[in-house]
Copies of this chain bind each other. A is one copy, B any other.
Amino acid sequence: MDAERDEPIRQRLTRGEAKARTRALLLDAAARVFARKGFTGASVEEVAEAAGFSTGALYSNFDSKEALFLELLSHRQTDRITEAAQALNSHEVGTGEAAAELGRLLIDVADKDIDFAPLQAEFWLYAIRNPEVLDTLAAKLREPRRALEDVISTSLARQGAPAGVSPEAVATVVAALFQGLVRQRRIDPSSVSEALFGQALKWIFVGISASDVPAPDDGD
């Protein structure tokens, strides 16, 4: 509509671009603040200020504090499980290299990406307390899980696992173990060494290959 004035703005953004940038900055800040203070414990003012804006700007971009949180929950889940799948893909499962890489990933998530696990915990708590978003969270987790499942599936085939073993089941176990160990490391780092996750995966894959075929019936 009206021509953009050539004010000395950083990169000459159109209005739409500027708004999108504000939204993105607010979402980044929200992820940090919600992770550190919790959804209910964090105030919208804290989130807005962490992004360099005021509460008015926040409410011009999101309907409510809850809407901002739900946007994070459903559209900004940078899932580290996908990275695990890639680590498993680049090396052979059960080898020392894959184990080492996965161990490093776990320690990295637990020690460096300090906001990841608490934010996931906030999502999980919100979802089980507000069942209407349970499906949203499940859907968001399905995609990286599928990636993990694919990698596991081919690995199982390659190492000649019994036919009855379901890749879904193994993927569920691997993901649950990963999350559980990350949390345990935050409580007591010495109990979760860098080698532990890789070691556990080796046990699991060796155990699968060595097992007989009594297929676990998957389903509830």
B-contacting residues of A (Cβ < 8 Å)?
36-38, 40-41, 117-118, 121-122, 124-125, 127-129, 134, 137-138, 141, 168-169, 172-173, 175-181, 183-184, 186-196, 199-200, 202-208, 210-211, 216-220
Q: How many copies does the complex hold?
A: 2
Q: CB-nearest residue of chain B relative to A177?
A: B177
Query: Which of B118, B192, B205 has a CB less than 8 Å from the CB of A128?
Result: B118
Query: Which of B121, B134, B184, B193 has a CB less than 8 Å from the CB of A218?
Result: B193
Contact between A36 and B138, CB atoms less than 8 A apart: no
Query: Given A196-B216, A206-B207, 16 more contacts at CB 8 Å?
Result: A38-B40, A38-B129, A40-B41, A121-B121, A169-B196, A169-B199, A172-B184, A173-B181, A176-B183, A179-B183, A193-B217, A196-B218, A203-B207, A206-B210, A207-B207, A207-B208
A179-B127 Cα distance, complex, nearest whole Å? 17
Contact between B192 and A202, CB atoms less than 8 A apart: no
